[in-house]
Structure 1
Amino acid sequence: MMRGQNLITSISLILGLFWALPLAAEPLQVIYGTRMGGEVRNGYPIQLLELALKKSGRAYDLLAYDLPITQARAFLELEKKRSITVHYAGTSADLESRFLPVRIPVYRGLLGYRVFIIHPDNQLLFSRIDSLEKLAGLRAGQGTGWADIGILEHSGLIVMAAPYESLLKMIELKRIDYFPRGINEAHPEVAQHQNRFPRLAVEKELLLVYPFAQFYFVNRDNQALHDAIRTGLVRAYEDGSFMALFNQHPHVKDMMAKVRLAERRRFDIPNPLMTRETLSIPADYWHEPLKLF
């Protein structure tokens, strides 16, 4: 009798494993939210995401959500497990607690390299700034709820918060003096909004730098997708394909050519909001780690 029960148990286990196999082989559903900036800005992060998925060895379906959405909406959809399964954004302690971050910076930390969107009439004003103290006498703008607000205020900078497009209008009306944007963001955004906001320019001489990373985020219950993206990114670094994509992507090359990092007056400030886990990211994954930390 005992032998018969053991046989039944063994058959049940085998059948369980058999029926589980198709589930394990199910492609990962990777649905990203198209940003309100359009495909020009999406190009590199999405190509990097696809590279990571290919390197992961997992089967996957990569799709775009059909309508552009704001960052706040994207994270709401991600949290509620609706519409999208991955989103990339500048990190914060709050996001890292609510979602699973893939802690390999998408832009190698260059999101923390900030140039300014300004009114073109104000270039001379910024040309005279040679210290952080002088910059602190001007008014910056940042998006409502953005983590950058706390970073800038921690270093004594004046920050006004408003919705994104309101900030562009405030620059034109000179209600704020500058809108710090990542070097991957400033020039494409000025070009994109040229028709609606023609009195915008990228400031030519200054660079504000703080440790800051943009990560891929997934729902906390989606460990499989998190692990696939992370595994793929690590493998892409190991075989050189990450840096090949980074250095050769037209958007990245155009970004580096336009901002001329080495020619700008650089002001470094700390980021008091970085989590211990993000601070422990290996140096190989950052641009200029010795200058950042």
Structure 2
Amino acid sequence: MRRRDLMLAAAAAPLAAARGAPLRLRIPRVSAKASSGQSYPAVLLAQALAAASMPATLEPTADYIPQQRALLELGADSRLDVVWTMTSVERERQARPIRIPIFKGLFGWRLLLALPEQAARLSAVRTLAELRQFSMLQGLEWPDAGVLQANSLNVVTSPSHDVMFRQLRLGRADAFPRSVEEIWWELDRYGQGLVVVPQLCLRYPAAVYYFVAPEATELAAALELGLQRLRATGVFDQLFAQHHGADLARARLGERRIIELSNPQLPPQTPLDKPELWYRP
């Protein structure tokens, strides 16, 4: 680890030497929850760069940017410098990932939003075969839609996050799988008439990374170096618990029936062999 630390510090050195004032980094508003510079990914990003001796000023975009479009807008001549999103083979072809899962895999732990009558039926599901009899709502370009389809689930896609909850209330799909990190916030704000399905949880391996432009090697090295240092000092886990502890306590994952799904979109370089990087209840 010490050798890796030195290599990353050397790779980040040109960027450190070139800066005078704090580094200016343009980041996206990827959702209503993440619109604030005080969101978990933004706070972690700033602290990681500070730990790499490269303090930064974060500048969120004024408008929301869909995840796929945000990846396409990375680079000095575009709108963004850093994006965080779920990885896939295709996304790692488009941009450079920093392969430390910042949510420790939480986006692969999925609870279901549904109307009460559907929730009662779904709560009795025990196998993937039984789950295939229900339709799942997902975003049109979300990697999760491909994960569910690869497991032969019936997926109804929508181009707009804002209308999905209305579609669910209208019965256009039976359930809306949401990550543990998202579901309680969305239930409070958009979930009128909906409930979280009791007893059931879906799980598949999924990593949300920071991504930078392919040519941004110094920035990538600084981010990896800072994240590794935060992990070594315990700050990473402290921030994770501070931002997600309440959601995890409310989800009570250890008491739920878990249906495991495969994720064929997951790149082979994903560090699944490092259990310290992943959350387990």
Place the TM-score, normalised by the shorter chain, in its bin: 0.7 to 0.9
The alignment covers a number of residue pairs equal to: 265
**Alignment identity in percent?**
30
Q: CA deviation at 1:79?
A: 5.5
Query: Any conservation in 2 of the 1:139–1:177 contact (CA below 8 Å)?
Result: yes
Does 1:35 find its partner at 2:27? no
Query: Paired residue for 2:173, among 172, 176, 190?
Result: 176
Quick one: which of 35, 45, 48 aligns to 1:49? Answer: 45
- Look at both structures and tell me which one has the larger radius of gyration over its CA atoms: 1
Q: 1:191 aligns to what?
A: 188
- The aligned counterpart of 2:218 is 224
Mark the CA change 1:72 to 1:50 in structure 2 (over 3 Å): closer, same or farther. same
Instruction: State the Cα distance separating 1:51 from its structure 2 match.
Output: 1.5
Contact 1:81 1:219 in 2 (8 A): no
Distance 1:99 1:146, change over 3 A: same
Offset at residue 140 of structure 1 (A): 0.6
Q: Which has the higher helix share?
A: 1
Q: Is 1:157–2:153 an aligned residue pair?
A: yes
Give, in angstroms, the shift of residue 248 of structure 1.
2.4
SS at match of 2:26: strand
Deviation larger for 149-158 or 179-188: 149-158
User: Offset of 1:214 from its aligned partner?
Assistant: 0.5
Q: Give the match for residue 12 of structure 2.
A: none
The alpha carbon displacement at 1:275 in A equals 1.0
Matched residue type, 1:215: Y
Offset from partner CA, 1:48-76 (integer Å, 9 cap, x none): 11111111112422222222322233223
Encode CA deviations 1:146-167: one digit per residue, 9 max, x unaligned. 2122221222211111122332
Stretch deviating more after TM superposition (73-82 or 256-265)? 73-82
- 1:126-141 matches, within 5 Å, as 126-141=122-137
C-alpha deviation, 1:193, in angstroms: 2.0
Greater shift in the superposed pair: 51-60 or 273-282? 273-282
| Matches of 1:79 and 1:160, distance apart in 2 | 33
The one of 225, 233, 237 aligned to 1:239: 233
CA-to-partner distance for each residue in 1:197-252, whole Å, 9 max, x for gaps? x2222222210000001011111121121111111000111111111111223xx0
Q: Name structure 1 gaps, 5 residues minimum.
A: 1-19
Match status 1:275 vs 2:270: no
TM-score, normalization by structure 1: 0.83
- TM-score under structure 2 length normalisation: 0.86
Q: Mean Cα displacement is larger for which, 231-240 or 24-33? A: 24-33
The answer on whether the counterparts of 1:33 and 1:68 sit within 8 Å (CA) in structure 2 is: yes
> In structure 2, do the counterparts of structure 1 residues 224 and 39 end up closer, same or farther at CA, with 3 Å as the change threshold?
same
Q: Which runs of 5+ in 2 are unaligned?
A: 1-14
